[in-house]
Chains A and B, each alone.
Chain A
Amino acid sequence: MNFFGGFRVTFAKLFEKRVTSQYPTVKRPKPERFHGRHVLGRYEDGMERCIGCELCAGVCPARCIYVRGADNPPDSPVAPGERYGYVYEINYLRCIHCDLCVEACPTEAITESKLFEFSFTSRDDAVYTKDELLVGDDGRPRRLPWEDWRPGDDEHTSGWMRATSPSGSAAWEGRAAWSAELGYGVRAPEQGQSAEAGPGTPDGEPSA
C-alpha cells in the first residue's frame, strides 16, 4: 500500500528545516552580477562616460531608455570627444533589467547596481533622469529618498564588465580591458572566470 507512503512523507516534513527566509527583515546576499537599478559612470577625471550614441536605447527590448545627445561645449566639455548625453532617462515602469544596454554601451557608461527594491508614489518618480542615474562625486550611485540601499548594493556597480574575459577566452584573463573609473581607478579583473574555457591565444592586444 504505497498509498499511505505519502502520509509518512508529509508527516516527516513537520520536523525538517524550513526553507523560508524572513525576507523584509533578513535579506540574502545578492549574486555578484545582479541586475538592479542602473547607474551612469564617470571617468576618473570626473568626465561623464556617456557620449549620447543611443545604442542602449536602440537595443532596449522594453523601449524604456530615452537619450538625446548634444555637442560638447568647447570651453567646458561634459564628456570626452564630440558629443555627450544631454538627456538620459530610464523608465522603470518598463525596464526589465535584461542588461542589454550595458552590453551595448561602447564606453561602459551604463552599468547596473544591485538595488532592486525601489518603489514610487507617482509615475514621474519612475522615470529616472540623468541627474538621478549619474554617480556622485565619490563614484558611488546617488541614494534617492525612496530607495532602500543596503550595504554592498552600490559597490562594484560595474561588476559584469569586470567579471568577464572577452569572448570567454582564458588567455585574456587577468588583463584589464577597461578604463579607470571615478572613485575606484582601474579595477582589478575578477579571477577564476575562465578556468574551464580552455587554452586560447590572444588575437590582439586589448586596448587599454
Chain B
Amino acid sequence: MNVLALDPAYIGGFGLDEALILIVKVVAAFAMLMVAVMLMIWFERKLIGDMQNRIGPALAGPWGILQTMADGIKLFFKEDLVPARSDRFVFKLAPYLSLVPAFLVFTVVPVGGNFTTGDGTVSWWGNTTYLQVADPHIGILLVLAMSSMAVYGVMLAGWSSGSKYPLLGSVRASAQMVSYEAALGLSLAAVLLQSGSLSTHDIVADQSGYDWNLWVTGIVPFVVFLIAVTAELNRPPFDMVEAEQELVGGFHTEYSSIRFALFFLAEFMNVITMSAIIVTLFLGGPDGPILVEGVDWLWGIIWFFLKLMVFLFVFVWLRATLPRLRYDQLMDMGWKVLIPLSLGWLLFLGALSIGRDRGWSEAVVIVVSVAALATGGLVLRTAVRAGRAQRQADEAGETADRATQGGGRR
C-alpha cells in the first residue's frame, strides 16, 4: 500500500478501518467541494456586485446565498440539447472530462493538521492519518497531469459541437493552456527544488514554521504561478476561451441544461482547487499559529481556509479590475515574459542551491548568476526585437508588392 500513498494510516496494511477512513475522507472532500463551489459562485457574484456598486443576488435565501442552488435546479429542468452536427459521444463526454480532473486535484491537498508544532497527522480512534484524501509520491505531478487533462474537456467540447464559435474557443483554449502550462511547471519546479519532494504533504511539512515558499523561493515563482494559474483557469483577464463579446460563449456555446452546469461547476471548482494548490505550494498550507491548545488540527483547517479565501478574493478582484487581454498579447506574455522569467529564476535558485552545497561564496554566486541571467535577458530581448523588425519589414514589403500589382487583391 505504501507504493500508492504515504499516508501513515496504511502502514499496517489495508483493513476495514482504513477503508472506512478512506470512504469518509472521499465523501467529506466531495461534499465539501460541492458546497464550496455553490458558495464560491455566490461569493463571486456578490463580491463583483459590490465592486460595481450593485448588490448582486439578494432574493434566494438570506443574502441570496441559495442563488446558485436555484440556478442549478433551473438548469436541471431545462431541455438537454445535442446539436445535430455534433459528435454525439464526445459532446456528452466533454463535461465530465473537465469535471473529474477538478475533483481529483483536490485529493492531494492537505486541508488541515498541525504542521506548526507537529508532523501534520491526526489521530482519531487509534488511527493516525493525514487530513488529505490521498498523499501519493507524485502529488504535484498529479496536479499537473490533471490540469492538462482538463484542457481536453474544453478542447473536445469545442471540437465536438460542430459549430464555429466553440471551435475557435477550443483552439484558443488549447494554445493558451499549453503555453501557460510551461510557465506553470517551471515556476512549480522552483518549489520542488526547495522542498526536494513531489508529495504535497512533504512540501507543506517543509514549509512549517513560516518558511513559506512565498519568500523562500523569492516572490517571482509565486507571481508567475499566480498569473499562469489564472490563464490556466480561463479566468479574466485571460478568459479568451469564452470571450463573450467575440465568441458568444466560447467552447460551451452549444451546451445547455445540466451539461452546461457541469462546465461551470468544473470551472469554479478549478478556481477553488487551484487556490488550494497555491496555498499548499507557496503559503505553507495549514501552517499557522495554534491559538488554543487541544484541537491543534482544527487550527490548521482554519488557517488553510483563511488563506484559501484570500486567493478566492484575489481571483474575483482580478476579474472586476482587469480588461481581457488581446490574443497576441496573451501569447507574448506567456512565451516572451513568463517562461523566460520562470526559467531564469529556476536556474538562479539552482545555482544558489549548488553554491550552498559546494560551499561557494554566496555573494559571488549571486553576482555571477545575475550577470548571466541579465545577458540571457538581453539576448532574448534582442532576438524578440529583431524578429519583430523582420516581420514588420516583410509585411511592409508585401503591402508594397500588392500596391504595385494594383487593386490590393488578396
Residues of A within 8 A of B (CB): 6-7, 9-11, 13-14, 16-20, 22
Contact = CB atoms under 8 A, between A and B. Distances in A.
28 contacts: A6-B321, A6-B322, A7-B317, A7-B321, A9-B321, A10-B51, A10-B320, A10-B321, A11-B51, A13-B50, A13-B51, A13-B52, A13-B53, A14-B47, A14-B50, A14-B51, A16-B53, A17-B53, A18-B50, A18-B53, A18-B54, A18-B55, A19-B53, A19-B54, A20-B53, A20-B54, A20-B55, A22-B58
Which 9 residue pairs are nearest across A and B when measured between Cβ atoms?
A6-B321, A10-B321, A10-B320, A10-B51, A20-B55, A13-B51, A19-B53, A14-B50, A18-B55
B61 to A, nearest CB: 16
Report which residue of B54, B55, B58, B321 has the largest number of chain A beta carbons within 10 angstroms of its beta carbon: B321
Interface of B: 47, 50-55, 58, 317, 320-322
Contacts of A7: 317, 321
A19 B53 CA distance: 6
Contacts of A17: 53
A10 B52 CA distance: 8
B53 A11 contact: no
Contacts of B52: 13
A184 B321 CA distance: 56
Nearest to B320: A10
Contacts of A20: 53-55
A26 to B, nearest CB: 12
Contacts of A10: 51, 317, 320-321
Contacts of A22: 58
Contacts of B47: 14
A190 to B, nearest CB: 35
B172 to A, nearest CB: 24
A171 B317 CA distance: 58
A14 B56 CA distance: 12
Nearest to B50: A14
A14 B58 CA distance: 16
A88 B186 CA distance: 77
Given A13-B52, A19-B54, 4 more contacts: A6-B321, A6-B322, A13-B53, A20-B55
Contacts of A9: 321
A18 B320 CA distance: 16
Contacts of B58: 22
A165 B317 CA distance: 53
Contacts of A18: 50, 53-55
A17 B50 CA distance: 9
A135 B308 CA distance: 63
Report which residue of A9, A13, A16 has the largest number of chain B beta carbons within 10 angstroms of its beta carbon: A13
A15 to B, nearest CB: 9
B333 to A, nearest CB: 13
B262 to A, nearest CB: 30
Nearest to A20: B55
Nearest to A7: B321
Contacts of B53: 13, 16-20
Contacts of B320: 10
A72 to B, nearest CB: 54
Nearest to A11: B317
B108 to A, nearest CB: 31
A11 B55 CA distance: 15
A197 to B, nearest CB: 38
A9 B323 CA distance: 14
A18 B58 CA distance: 13
Nearest to A4: B321
B309 to A, nearest CB: 15
A16 B52 CA distance: 9
A19 B58 CA distance: 14
A4 to B, nearest CB: 9
